[in-house]
Chains A and B, each alone.
Chain A
Amino acid sequence: MEYGSIEREIHIDATPEVVYEVVSRPEHLREWWPDEAELKPVPGAIGVISFGDRNAPDAKVESLTVVDADPPRRFSFRWVYDEGEAATPTNSLLVTFELTASGSGTLLRFSEAGFRERGWEAAVLENAYREHVTGWDHFLPRLVTYVNRVVSTP
């Protein structure tokens, strides 16, 4: 089994065209993720998303590099690479939205990959967390309050 990525599927009662706009256009990105987004949804474009007041010292600003922009089927970008570097498969995470028509709506397949390449193996642990693997199970009940507090932040 591969655990190098986080994968999700969700059905949306809207056409792939609409869903594509929501996942790729900055005015919609702002509604579901960062506070600010400047991004052209074209392959190779480098954009910026930010959290919090951009002029405040604790603002988080992240670059995104668009990889695929194929409306209304596929939108992907790389992020979480160091400032000043170009995004590559080994220094970033690849986020992909794949859309397929399903009934009158859309099946959205999401993945965030590249954890193993970054040496994180986050997905392994996420899986362990979700499935309450022996051992972690012993400890996790005590974590719940803490986790709830952390996951409620963006």
Chain B
Amino acid sequence: MSVTVDDELWSAVGDPTRRRMVDLMLADGFGTATSLSERLPVTRQAVAKHLGVLHRVGLVHATPSGRERRYEVDEEQLARATAQLASVGASWDARLHRIKRIAEAIQRDREN
């Protein structure tokens, strides 16, 4: 249901560049600001900023690796975000089917 949605988490995954970054980290297992910027049309600084946003909402974990930080996706938190988003559409599907059932029952009653 929409009211349980965590605004910050939604905004974090709502940005297309951040989603692309999440995809790359999922495919490769991890990413750094440098490795991700090499594969995206944005600067290393911009990638670092996006990683900061993802980190704040718990979508990625960071571990030091040489001079850089290595980021991995927190699959549980991503599952939570995706489930919330999917549930908005799915909940309305369920409600619309209930509307259909109720209206059709009323119509049948009136005709009989």
Contact = CB atoms under 8 A, between A and B. Distances in A.
Contacts of A62: 3
B82 A140 contact: yes
Interface of B: 1-5, 7, 10-11, 13-16, 19-20, 22-24, 26-27, 75, 78-79, 81-100, 102-104, 106-107, 110
B8 to A, nearest CB: 10
Contact of B23 (A10, A23, A138): A138
A19 B99 contact: yes
Interface of A: 6, 8, 10, 12-15, 18-19, 21-23, 28, 31-33, 51, 60, 62, 79-80, 93, 106, 108, 110, 112, 118-122, 124-126, 128-130, 134-136, 138-140, 142-143, 146-147, 150-151, 153-154
Contact of B104 (A13, A136, A153): A13
Nearest to B110: A18
